[in-house]
Amino acid sequence: MLDVRRLRLLHALSVHGTVSAAAEALHVTSPAVSQQLAALERETGVRLVQKDGRRLVLTRAGQVLAAHTQLLLDQLAAAEADLAGLRTRVSGSVRVAVFATAAAALVPPALRTLHAAHGGDVDVLVHEMEPEESLPALRRGEVDLVVSHAYDLMPRDVPPSCEARELLAEPVLLALPAAESAGEAVDLADFADRKWIMPRTDASCHEMAQRACGAAGFVPSAQAYCDDFDVVFGLVDAGAGVALVPALAARHLPPGVVLRPLVRPITRIVTAVVRHRADGHPAVRVVLDHLTAASGQVGQPLLDARDVHG
């Protein structure tokens, strides 16, 4: 029979990409990983890894076995969750990765109700991460639950062996100085000659803004690149430019800035993502349920933001 511990090492190599990263993730030494992979090759009778320059990579047989191992590990995680569900007391630590605006709007109310219901039995460790970082971290097993987002202009795939639950949908709005505001829903084409406050170029929000402006027939001229929405609103208030912002980011709007809905609406979908069957683990499930409840409390006001007039 194949040794599950050795299979786990093979799977770690497939996920992390290098022997050293796999060793670090599983808290063993690199030589131990290499030795155990060699032993696994002897067990299977096929070549599972090969040299690629200075790196060790999976062969085709190694990739096939790693895929089967993923299913096996999913089943083991489900078994652990089912056993944990038989306990009368919900307890444990849950590592949550969440992007900044959701961390500010959803996590505090979720933690308040969670602590009221379970005291200190469920410990939530919060990591602020954008989806580009958090979803790979979930797949590597570094976090247990991810709050992610995707725009309807550019859907985001759920990682293999993971499941998603929609938390809320929020409109994307145009932020502009109050003194310049006129009308209700705006056409982005009318702002083709304006300066724009843009997200950093490696962020999905940047790609969303580029696509939205492109659909309106122009390339936005960036006056500034920044991630912090307080900075964005400050720059808009100062007349430096206009910006596309998700409604969740606009809970504390400066008096000199107004939001307008778009003639061609854009929606950002906020989801909670866990590994397959992980929501069966009681501690993960209660954190997910409290995040869902917190999302429901803010969801309708965000949808009503389509009608924001300043």
Can you tell me which residue has the tokens 């569900």? Answer: 85
Query: According to CATH, what is the number of the domain 169-267?
Result: 3.40.190.10
92-168+270-302 topology per CATH: D-Maltodextrin-Binding Protein; domain 2 (3.40.190)
- β-pairing verdict for 145-151 and 122-128: unpaired
4-85 and 92-168+270-302 agree in CATH topology:
no
Band of pLDDT at residue 305, cut at 50, 70 and 90: very low
What was the pLDDT predicted at 104?
Answer: 92
238-285: per-residue pLDDT in tens?
999 999 999 999 878 888 999 999 999 999 999 999 988 776 788 899
106-121: per-residue pLDDT in tens?
999 999 999 999 888 8
Dist. CA 95–CA 276, nearest whole Å: 16
Burial class (CB in 10 A: 0-12, 13-18, 19+), 168: buried
Partners of residue 198 on adjacent β-strands: 225
The answer to whether residue 102 scores a pLDDT higher than 70 is: yes
| Lowest mean per-residue pLDDT among 22-26, 80-84, 91-95, 241-245 | 80-84
* Domain residue spans of the chain: 4-85, 92-168+270-302, 169-267
The answer to whether residue 41 scores a pLDDT higher than 70 is: yes
Residue 259: which of 174, 177, 169, 186 has the closest Cα? 174
Q: Where are the beta strands (DSSP E) in 112-226?
A: 122-128, 145-151, 162-177, 195-198, 221-225
- β-pairing verdict for 257-260 and 195-198: unpaired
Band of pLDDT at residue 309, cut at 50, 70 and 90: very low
> Is 307 or 74 the better-scoring residue by pLDDT?
74
What was the pLDDT predicted at 276?
Answer: 80
Burial class (CB in 10 A: 0-12, 13-18, 19+), 193: exposed
Can you tell me which residue has the tokens 């006056």? Answer: 223
Dist. CA 176–CA 174, nearest whole Å: 6
Residue 12: which of 46, 52, 49, 60 has the closest Cα? 49
AA identity, residue 220: P
Considering the entire predicted model, what is its pTM?
Answer: 0.76
Pick the CATH number of 4-85 from 1.10.10.10, 1.20.140.10, 1.20.120.1200, 3.90.1150.10: 1.10.10.10
What was the pLDDT predicted at 304?
Answer: 53
Band of pLDDT at residue 202, cut at 50, 70 and 90: confident
Partners of residue 176 on adjacent β-strands: 258
CB 241 within 8 A of CB 224: yes
Instruction: Decide: helix, strand or coil at residue 255.
Output: coil
CB 262 within 8 A of CB 190: no
Band of pLDDT at residue 308, cut at 50, 70 and 90: very low
The answer to whether residue 12 scores a pLDDT higher than 60 is: yes
- β-pairing verdict for 267-275 and 162-177: antiparallel
Dmax (CA) of the chain: 74
